[in-house]
Structure 1
Amino acid sequence: MTRARKEQVCLEATPYYHCIFRCVRRAFLCGDDKFSGQNFDHRKQWVVDKITELSSVFAIEVCAYAVMSNHYHLVLKVSKEEVEILSDYDVALRWKQFFNGHTMVDRWLTDKVTSQAEKDKALEMIQVWRARLYDLGWYMRCLNESIAVQANKEDNCKGRFWEGRFKSQALLDETALLACMAYVDLNPIRAAISDAPENSDFTSIQARLNTLAKAKHNQKAQPNKLLPFMGYQPHSKVQKGLPFKLIDYFKLVEWTGRCIREDKRGAIPAHIKPLFERFHVNEQDWLETIKQFNRHFIDAAGSPENMTKWAVCTNRKWCATHRTLKLYKNAEYC
């Protein structure tokens, strides 16, 4: 049975979510259409450009992305606290960047309200917008509607471009977040579209590597459109950025990409050991997790303890298979 989105997103449990959306009938509407002979790769750039634009308005930051020919992956962080400290004025201006707004709010913004009732109504509407600025459903709606309209206009047709609902997975701990990001960034390699992360077009790993390559004298340079890697910040009340080091993530993706390919089953490089030891991850179970990430984890991913908390938070009786829990136990996830 399909669950309401509010039962799948629980910000008290985690701010991180993996979202997947497919083209209708899984058609290659963003790649090579073998029937018409047309190539639609330029539409992948539409998705990348739109998520950058949306993240400047919504309090939802992009951790990782991969835009494929018939679907895309996003790993997002919902920053509710960012919206909570915004003034009513700033919330209204943000919302109006994408939507027409409301007459009463427009009057309030220009000091034309004539009564307390009008002011109360305007502020009530702004609070609704405030909640939407960290709403995953509204974010995805703005993204998908925009791409669908552009594609239908280009094709001179009407009808659905995307399937009905996007799939979302809650990433309940740092290990689940790390595994999911690596899974997303390696999508083109797993699909035999590219042979290396730096050649994987329309992915976050390529964007990060390109930024680093251009900033030759700054080994910590990161793209503005992506949530930066900051490393673990134990003395900070709020974790700013991703709780991993950039170079460790690059090494992990490279090593994982080589190991899951049939023609490159090599020994585990010595330099990757510190990261695995730090996260208490068993190498073989890590590879199995990456290979079958979507099969093992449906609505949420995390340790058995976090999965149990998630089930309570979202009113579920269960949310993991016996195999999933055994995998986490064997991998000694923290």
Structure 2
Amino acid sequence: MPRPQRSEQFDPAEVCVVHVVQRCVRRAFLAGVDHQSGKDFSFRKEWIRRRMEALASVFAVDVLSYAVMSNHMHQILRNRPDVCAEWTDEEVAIRWLRVFPGRRLEEHLAEPTGNDVKMLTRDKERLAEVRKRLSDISWFMRALAEPIARMANKQDECTGRFWEGRFKAQRIVDEAGLLACSMYVDLNPVRAAMAETPEEAMHTSAYDRAKARRGEKLNSAAFDLKPIPTDEAGRKLRETPVDELREQRKKKRRNPTGRKILRDGWLSPLTMATDKLADEPEVHSDGVRSSDKGFLHLSWKNYWALLRWTAQRATKDSKTEMPPVVRDVLTKVGIDVSMWRDLVWDWQRYFGNNSCIGRPESIKEHAATSGRHHYRGQASTACCFA
């Protein structure tokens, strides 16, 4: 059965949460040690994390959770057209031009100038299309996948497709589905025996959040959202050799703004603020992510406790007793406590082939609003929810 069309799963003009999976062609190694060639590509995981961080600073898309694996990557993304609507025309223009400058390196580092921004803001039809694309998950994934593929092919001295095809997308329709999916994503390295505990599972959102709680910082990969003065750009282009421009561009990529941020500063906050209205955009103003809106009615302390407890339940015969706080979290969102372990560890069995994730009644409601009778797997997942 073919995958549903993107337009059937999410709309750039509507706030929605999507679980995204992108795989390498023929399960080739994205990162880690390739057993065929013996080469270690582990450093590519940081390529991907930094690219996601950079894109989170310009797109109206919140990165809720992520995990970079050996031959694929997971993200849970939330598009934010409400945030994009709050940006000025100049902000929209500079954000777009930072990612898609539309010029070659030799034409001044492919960095936007003040004149470029003015030209785009004057073209109202083009600007409206750009504003729409900045809150489109498909454009976010395009801007993430293409540069990684080019860099990997250049390093491997080959050409051709690097990714298996278009990314797989699953719409998440309620908090129970979002909590379970977020746990599944954060525990992917543990399930794959790449790490024994969440504390050791690098290049996951849970690892970043845990390290940030201890004050760990990193060089920000966020784009510099200030255009270069046009006269300065012209002077630099005339007076600086191309090789030197390339070297300057490479150095600036390491830390475009010269700032340090907490390790999870670019991720969406975990906990939703109780003093905010549900439809309030909560626009972020520090230039490292699109908004300050959380995504779960759950504290980090309780999320971390649930994550660690679930990680210990690798086998069904595990005798680890469920702490009361963990039981309360699951009961509150309507998940059957006795089925929680199976839901996360056997995720592919319950939601692997589904295009929609959540409680059966939530999936049914979403199907009705989408003009469908039902979604695949709607009935088979009922046993996991109270």
TM-score computed with the length of structure 2 as normaliser: 0.75
Select the residue among 295, 302, 326 that pairs with 1:242: 295
User: 1:214-255: per-residue Cα shift (whole Å, max 9, x none)?
Assistant: 37xxxxx87211111234627523362122211111011011
Corresponding residue SS for 2:64: strand
Matches within 5 A, 1:80-159: 80-100=81-101, 109-110=117-118, 119=122, 122-159=123-160
Q: Could you tell me how far 1:324 is from its partner in structure 2? A: 2.9
State the partner residue of 1:316: 372
> Distance in 2 between the 1:74 and 1:13 partners?
19
Amino acid paired to 2:72? H
CA pair 260-323 structure 1, distance change in 2 beyond 3 A: farther
CA pair 157-235 structure 1, distance change in 2 beyond 3 A: closer
| Contact 1:20–1:74, Cα closer than 8 Å, also in 2 | yes
Amino acid paired to 1:227? S
> Distance in 2 between the 1:70 and 1:302 partners?
26
Q: Does 1:228 align with 2:228?
A: no
CA pair 153-252 structure 1, distance change in 2 beyond 3 A: same
> Distance in 1 between the 2:331 and 2:374 partners?
30
Matches within 5 A, 1:187-266: 187-214=188-215, 223-231=264-272, 233=274, 236-238=277-279, 240-243=293-296, 244-261=298-315, 264-266=318-320
State the partner residue of 2:20: 19
User: 1:87-139: per-residue Cα shift (whole Å, max 9, x none)?
Assistant: 2221111100011259xx9868447x9xxxx94xx010000000000111110
> Distance in 2 between the 1:192 and 1:34 partners?
16
User: 1:285-307: per-residue Cα shift (whole Å, max 9, x none)?
Assistant: 22222123233221111122321
Query: Which sections of structure 1, spanning at least 5 residues, go unmatched?
Result: 216-220
> Distance in 2 between the 1:278 and 1:286 partners?
13
Structure with the higher fraction of residues in helix conformation? 1
> Distance in 1 between the 2:319 and 2:39 partners?
36
State the partner residue of 1:68: 69
State the partner residue of 2:355: 299
Amino acid paired to 2:139? W
State the partner residue of 1:43: 44
Q: Could you tell me how far 1:6 is from its partner in structure 2? A: 1.2
Q: Does 1:272 align with 2:334?
A: no
| Contact 1:13–1:309, Cα closer than 8 Å, also in 2 | no
| Contact 2:359–2:382, Cα closer than 8 Å, also in 1 | no
Corresponding residue SS for 1:214: coil
State the partner residue of 2:31: 30
Amino acid paired to 1:197? P
Corresponding residue SS for 2:349: helix
Corresponding residue SS for 1:324: coil
- Greater Cα shift, 147-156 or 285-294: 285-294
TM-score computed with the length of structure 1 as normaliser: 0.86
Q: Could you tell me how far 1:262 is from its partner in structure 2? A: 5.5
Amino acid paired to 2:191? R
Q: Could you tell me how far 1:279 is from its partner in structure 2? A: 2.3
CA pair 278-97 structure 1, distance change in 2 beyond 3 A: same
> Distance in 2 between the 1:140 and 1:70 partners?
16
Q: Could you tell me how far 1:3 is from its partner in structure 2? A: 2.6
Q: Could you tell me how far 1:25 is from its partner in structure 2? A: 0.5
CA pair 25-315 structure 1, distance change in 2 beyond 3 A: farther
CA pair 235-142 structure 1, distance change in 2 beyond 3 A: closer
Matches within 5 A, 1:49-60: 49-60=50-61
Aligned residues: 316
> Distance in 1 between the 2:276 and 2:51 partners?
34
Q: Could you tell me how far 1:269 is from its partner in structure 2? A: 2.2
When the two chains are superposed, the root-mean-square deviation of aligned CA atoms in Å is 2.5
Q: Could you tell me how far 1:273 is from its partner in structure 2? A: 2.8
